[in-house]
Amino acid sequence: MNVFTPFGYLFAETIVKEDCSELKECEFYLRGSGQDNFKGKDYSNFHVLDDYPHTKKIMEQYSKKFIRENFCSTNKFEITTSWLVNLAHNDRIHLHHHKNCVFSAVFYYGEYTQETCGLQFKNPKKNKSLYM
């Protein structure tokens, strides 16, 4: 029997043990409070990991492992965009969608505690019946 989950979502969590401290050198980042409207932004700067090949390689390795183990795929995937967000106390990330991608990832680096900004997901299929 083949089992399919055409409308399911996978969530994974892991701890990256490799050193990614080079990201602390980055001077291009968005403020959490300044993300409310991305329209008109220069997306050429949304390739931060291209300037940090060590960290990009680590992220690619974790991504490939996730894809291989969860989608049984050995296809070549690439990180198309990457950016950093610096959150101050009481900042938030606005609700947004990552379209046209197989999966998205969030990487918290630096000082992380239980009080660090939590990550929330909203079901995009809210209030839908099985037949709609």
Read off the pLDDT of each residue in 41-52 and give the average, rounded to a whole number: 78
pLDDT at 61 over 90: yes
What pLDDT, on a 0 to 100 scale, did the predictor assign at position 10? 79
Backbone angles phi, psi at 47, to 5 degrees: -135, 45
What pLDDT, on a 0 to 100 scale, did the predictor assign at position 95? 75
At 63-119, the pLDDT tens digits run 999 888 888 888 888 888 888 888 777 777 777 777 777 778 888 887 777 777 777
pLDDT at 124 over 80: no
Q: What is the pTM of this model?
A: 0.76
DSSP secondary-structure letter at 47? B
Buried b (16+ CB within 10 A) or exposed e, 46-63: bebbeebeebbebbeebb
What pLDDT, on a 0 to 100 scale, did the predictor assign at position 56? 96
